[in-house]
Amino acid sequence: MAIIELSHGSGGNKARNIIKDIFISRFSNPILNILDDSACVEGDLAFTTDSFVVEPVFFPGGDIGKLSVCGTVNDLAMKGAKPLYLSASFIIEEGFEMDDLGKIASSMAKTAKEAGVLIVTGDTKVVDRRGGLKPAPQIYITTAGIGKIPKDIDVSSKNATPGDAIILSGTIADHGVSIMNARNDFGFKGDLKSDCASLNGIVEAFLSKDVRVLRDPTRGGLAASLNEIAKTSKVSIVIEEDKIPVLPQVKAACDLLGLDPLHVANEGKFVAFVRQSSADKALKKIKTHKLGKNASILGFVEKGATGVSIKTRVGSLRPLGMLEGEQLPRIC
Amino acid sequence: MEVCGTHTVAISKNGLRSLLPPNIRLFSGPGCPVCVTPQAEIDASIELAKRPKTIITTFGDMIRVPGTRTSLEKEKAEGSDVRVVYSPLDCLDIAKKEPEKEIVFIGVGFETTSPAIAATVLKAKEEKAHNFSVIPAFKLIPPALQALTGAKDVRVDGFILPGHVSTIIGADAYGFLEIPGVIAGFEAEDILEAIRMIAKLIGARNRPPVQIQYKSVVKPEGNPAALKVLYEVFEPSDSNWRGIGTIKGSGLVFRDKYRDFDALKKFDVKMRSAKEPAGCSCGSILKGVKTPPECKLFGKKCTPEYPVGPCMVSSEGACSAYYKYGNN
Amino acid sequence: MCLAIPGKVESISGDSSEVNFSGLKRTVSLKLLPGVKTGDYVLVHAGFAIQTVDKHAAKKTLKLFKGL
């Protein structure tokens, strides 16, 4: 009897296969089948949803509440939409501390205010505590969001075109490493903070009709996002290893745990595929924003076979695929 | 031949094969500790996960390895307490926090890793951590190299020797080698320099000694203190290498004094012989006789999402590296 | 087959030390490497220091390639 495993939820090929085989095959429709971060409905409305199950609930740089608002705001921003309204649903296990719930709600209110969105509807359910290997009561949050796409803006993962410059907004792997360190007792001490942030402000700063694709590389990391875009647009993407910024303490944690930063989740970064003639201008605007200080042009969309390649430091070219399943720390 | 799995990954990740001239071909060797652990031992580890009030602790490498019927990951999904640790010392912290449970550590690795577990066992004895034990599945590199150079179907002109194993055993441990060997670091530059050094040594007039490229951390004598700790707790024994067979003196077992920490004895674990998956070429790949693309199952029935053999599931396995990073 | 990273020893207490890896810190056992001094660079694997790092030798290889 086949069962769902943790690896089915981690953004790699296994996860995509489950989504395709179980859900998309049954729900199929032209809007869904594009599989962008947000669906575009009624002409200019962007609509999206996301669930948040992060553990631990409070981590350096944020909490599940902040994440649940940023996550959905960002999915709307990645469609070029101005996020407007959010819903928030809570599934809470009996025994969860009231104070913690209050803290999470405050965090959501603060984040929503900063992002300029209103939480207009929601739901709450309390369930039995599962216990077992998870003795502490859990909380799961689902947010859905609506935003408006400005006229002349057409951002979609099917738009990547040969020649496009690929801009990365900043350092990668911050969030995933922070969570892994907070979740496990690996004993690492240092500034490992999640980069959790709302991206609608920075996107608005440079958004134009020359911006063809936007994607925030969450689960599965930068590698997964670039591969999804390459597949959907049927293009060849080539990026340079040298141009990928990683904070030194994050790199050290990745090296110690055998993790590849390219496959680690981010929650406050994006890639933008911009028409080459406007790329430098866009990069300049991104870099003036506080969330884009480490932005750079990662690479370009090229003519060639569909897929993603990376030019290594020593000058060779090799494929960059998606990871299968959750990346686990290793010693060998 | 690069012996070490971490070298295989570094070579693939940096696309080094594509930078070499056509007269230099790289083959991967058996230096992936997960790949060479016999199916029977993997099954035994997973069996212990099913034992009540037992916490299985392991390095992340072992979680996804397929046993005959299941894996640690699957058992975890079914409710077993399986935890990934960074250091074996973390197991002792768990043992203290959960005195009513048995903490079993899966001891897979080569000489870089086994001294760390030996040191942990010494600490456990000192602290009287009676609820801690280890499944001893460690292997030793020099006996394996000796077996490889003696094997009829293996044709190697030079070895890229493992960098970190050598920090422990030292360059002197390879004195038996009759073909050139260079101990290399793990950056692309290190490996390229080592290959250049090997190429120079091939065909050199007098039998060339093993050379050290990874000078920053490898010494001729290695780390004598670590070796002392290792052989205080363990002693060499014959060991079965998956795909290769039994190699004399290539494994480690607990010395009598520390037998209480042997999980296999403590829980009377029975090893059941296991069949190799049909069509799997891991054995030939581990000897460098075949490359992953030459396996009939590679990329078709055997992929990282649905691995058949250990060379695909381990992130250090040759098949996994070739699949992820291409043939370059 | 073994991931080991160099770090700087910042303090020592008996068999134990605090090692700094580019801003990331961890307690590292010195049980396998007696004689380490504060300020030394050590190679760390699975929470143990397994060898001292000769920084001079480490820089040499990188210089060799930068010059190409």
C44 close to C7: Cβ distance less than 8 angstroms: yes
Strands C24-29 and C16-21: antiparallel
Q: Tell me what the mean pLDDT of segment B193-200 comes to.
A: 93
User: How far is Cα B178 from Cα B196, in angstroms, rounded to an integer?
Assistant: 18
Q: What angle do CA B106, B108, B109 make, to 5 degrees?
A: 150
Average pLDDT of chain B, as a whole number: 90
- State the DSSP H helix or E strand holding residue A88, giving kind and residue range, or none if neither: strand A82-93
Handedness of CA A300, A304, A310, A313 (dihedral sign): negative
Q: Quote the CA–CA distance of A276 and B143 in Å, as a whole number.
A: 57
Write the residue in B86, B187, B229 that is nearest to C32 by C-beta. Answer: B229
Distance CA C68, CA A313 (A): 13
Asked if C21 lies within 8 A of A252 by C-beta distance, the reply is: yes
> Which is higher by pLDDT, B245 or B186?
B186
| A28 vs A101: CA distance, rounded Å | 37
What pLDDT is stored for residue B207 in this prediction? 66
Q: Which among B238-247, B268-277, B313-322 has the top mean pLDDT?
A: B238-247
Average pLDDT, chain A: 93
Asked if the model's pLDDT at residue C15 lies above 70, the reply is: yes
For chain B, say whether A4 makes contact (Cβ under 8 Å).
yes
- Inspect the interface and report whether the beta carbons of B4 and C32 lie closer than 8 Å: no
Nearest Cα of chain B lies from the Cα of A328 at a distance, in angstroms, of 5
B232 touches chain A (CB under 8 A): no
- Range with the poorest average pLDDT among B75-89, B168-182, B308-322, C28-42: B308-322
Whether A256 and chain B come into contact, CB under 8 Å, resolves to yes
pLDDT band (50, 70, 90) for residue C65: low
The DSSP output letter for A149 is P
pLDDT of B31 above 90: no
pLDDT of B131? 97
Of A87, A253, A237, A111, residue with least CA distance to A182? A253
Q: What is the pLDDT of residue B276?
A: 72
**Contact by Cβ (8 Å): A50, A68:** yes
Min distance A257 CA to chain C CA atoms (Å)? 8
Q: What is the mean pLDDT of residues B103-126?
A: 97
Contact yes or no for C3 and A249 at CB 8 A: no
Among chain B residues, the shortest Cα distance to A8 is held by B305
Contact list in B for residue C33 (CB cut-off 8 A) is 223, 225-226
Size of interface B-C (CB pairs under 8 A): 106
Contact C22 A187 (CB under 8 A): no
Partners of A187 on chain B (C-beta within 8 Å) are: 86-87, 90
A92's CB contacts (< 8 A; 6+ apart) are A101, A124, A125, A126, A127, A137, A138, A139, A140
Whether C34 has a pLDDT exceeding 80, the answer reads yes
pLDDT at B328: 64
Tell me the C-alpha to C-alpha distance, in Å, between residue B201 and each of B8, B23, B174, B180, B181.
21, 15, 15, 6, 9
Nearest CB to A185; choose among B34, B63, B90: B90
Residues 6 or more apart whose CB falls under 8 angstroms from that of A82 comprise A76, A147, A148, A149, A150, A200, A204
pLDDT in tens, A222-242: 999 999 999 999 999 999 999
Distance from CA of C67 to the nearest CA of B (A): 12
Question: Is the bond preceding residue A56 a cis peptide, omega within 30 degrees?
Answer: yes
Which residues on chain C place their C-beta less than 8 Å from a C-beta of chain A? Answer: 1-3, 5, 7, 21-27, 44-47, 65
Q: Which residues of chain B are within 8 Å of residue A328 when distances are taken between CB atoms?
A: 60-61, 63-64, 84
Q: Under a CB-based contact definition with an 8 Å cutoff, are residues B180 and B159 in contact?
A: yes
Return the residue in B13, B74, B192 with the most chain A beta carbons within 10 A, the one to mutate for interface testing.
B13
Mutate to test the interface with C, among A256, A313, A314, A331 (most CBs of C within 10 A): A256
Query: Is B213 at the interface with chain C, CB within 8 A?
Result: yes
Alpha-carbon distance B328 to nearest alpha carbon in chain C (angstroms): 20
Neighbours of chain A (3+ CB pairs under 8 A): B, C
Chains linked to B by 3 or more Cβ pairs within 8 Å: A, C
Residue predicted with more confidence, B179 or A36: B179
In this prediction, residues A247-269 reach a mean pLDDT of 94
Question: What tokens were used for A101?
Answer: 């719930």
How high is the pLDDT of residue B271? 80
Chains that touch C (3 or more CB pairs under 8 A): A, B
Please state the three-class secondary structure of chain B as a single string: CEEEHHHHHHHHHCCHHHHCCCCCCCCEEEECHHHHCCHHHHHHHHHHHCCCCEEEEECHHHCCCCCCCCCHHHHHHCCCEEEECCCCHHHHHHHHHCCCCEEEEEECCCCCCHHHHHHHHHHHHHCCCCCEEEEECCECHHHHHHHHHHCCCCCCCCEEECHHHHHHHCHHHHCCCCCCEEECCCCHHHHHHHHHHHHHHCCCCCCCCCEECCCCCCCCCCCHHHHHHHHHHEEEEEEEECCCEEEEEEEEEECHHHHHHEHHHHCCCCCCCCCCCCCCCHHHHHCCCCCHHHCCCECCCECCCCCCCHHHHCCCCHHHHHHHHCCC
**Average pLDDT over all residues of chain C:** 88
C-beta atoms surrounding A229 within 10 Å = 26
Strand order in the sheet with B132-136: B81-84, B54-58, B102-107, B132-136
Partner residue facing A332 (CB), from B12, B76, B316: B316
Percent of chain B residues topping a pLDDT of 90: 60
pLDDT at A201: 97
Is residue B170 less than 8 Å (CB to CB) from chain C? no
Cβ-based interface (< 8 Å): residues of A facing C = 186-192, 247-249, 251-253, 255-258, 314, 330-332
For the stretch A298-309, pLDDT in tens is 999 999 999 999
On chain A, the residues whose CB falls within 8 A of the CB of C48 are none
**How far is B185 from B217, CA to CA, in rounded Å?**
9
Selected residue of C20, C24, C29, C62 to mutate for chain A interface (largest A Cβ count, 10 A): C24
- Per the DSSP assignment, residues forming a β-bridge with A239 are A299, A310
Q: How far apart are CA A105 and CA A127, in angstroms?
A: 19
CA distance B322 to A250: 27
Angle at C35 between CA C32 and CA C36, to 5 degrees: 85
Is pLDDT of A151 > 90? yes
| Residue A207 CA: distances (Å) to CA of A38, A280, A286 | 17, 13, 10
Is the Cβ pair A188, C22 closer than 8 Å?
no
Residue with tokens 């909490």: A63
In chain A, which residue's Cα lies nearest the Cα of B191?
A: A314
Which residues are CB-contacts of B155 (< 8 A; sequence separation ≥ 6)? none
Environment class of A25 (CB within 10 Å of its CB; exposed 0-12, middle 13-18, buried 19+):
exposed
Residue C38 structure tokens:
């504060």
Subunit contact A252:C2, Cβ cutoff 8 A: no
The residue to which tokens 């608005």 are assigned: A204
Greatest mean pLDDT among A83-87, A325-329, B71-75: A83-87
d(CA B103, CA B322): 36
Question: What's the pTM?
Answer: 0.90
**Does the pLDDT value for residue A20 go beyond 60?**
yes
Say yes or no: B125 contacts chain A, CB-CB below 8 A. no
| Residues B87, C46 contacting (CB under 8 angstroms) | yes
Dihedral sign (CA B142, B147, B150, B154): negative
**DSSP reduced 3-state for C1:** coil
* pLDDT higher than threshold 60 for residue B61: yes
pLDDT band at C68 (very low <50, low <70, confident <90, very high): very low
SS3 call for A144:
strand
Torsion angle, alpha carbons of A98, A104, A109, A111, to 10: 170
Q: B229 and chain C: CB distance < 8 Å anywhere? A: yes
The C-alpha of C60 sits at a distance from chain A's nearest C-alpha, in angstroms, of 17
CA distance B186 to B192: 10
> Which of A187, A314, A316 has its CB closest to that of B86?
A187
SS3 A221: helix
Q: How many residues does chain B have?
A: 328
Question: Residue B144: which pLDDT band, with cuts at 50, 70 and 90?
Answer: very high
Tens digits of residue pLDDT in B155-172: 889 999 999 999 999 999
Q: Are A13 and A324 in contact (CB under 8 A)?
A: yes
Distance from the Cα of A10 to chain B's closest Cα (Å) equals 12
The 10 Å CB-count burial string (b at 16+, else e) for B23-59 is: eeebbbbbbbbbbbbbbbbbbbbbbbbeeeebbbbbb
CB neighbours (10 Å) of residue A305? Answer: 11
According to DSSP, residue A49 is labeled E
For residues B18 and B45, the answer to whether their CB atoms sit within 8 Å is no
Written as one letter, the residue type at B220 is P
Task: Read off φ and ψ for residue A119, nearest 5 degrees.
Answer: -90, 110
Mean pLDDT (whole number) for A104-118: 98
Average pLDDT over residues B290-301: 90
**Under 8 Å between Cβ of A316 and B18:** yes
What is the Cα–Cα distance from A60 to A177, expressed in whole angstroms? 11
> Is B192 in the A-facing interface, judged by CB distances under 8 Å?
yes
Give the H/E segment covering residue A51.
strand A45-52
As given in the structure block, the two tokens for residue C55 are: 């920084």
Q: What's the CA gap between A273 and B136, in Å, rounded? A: 51
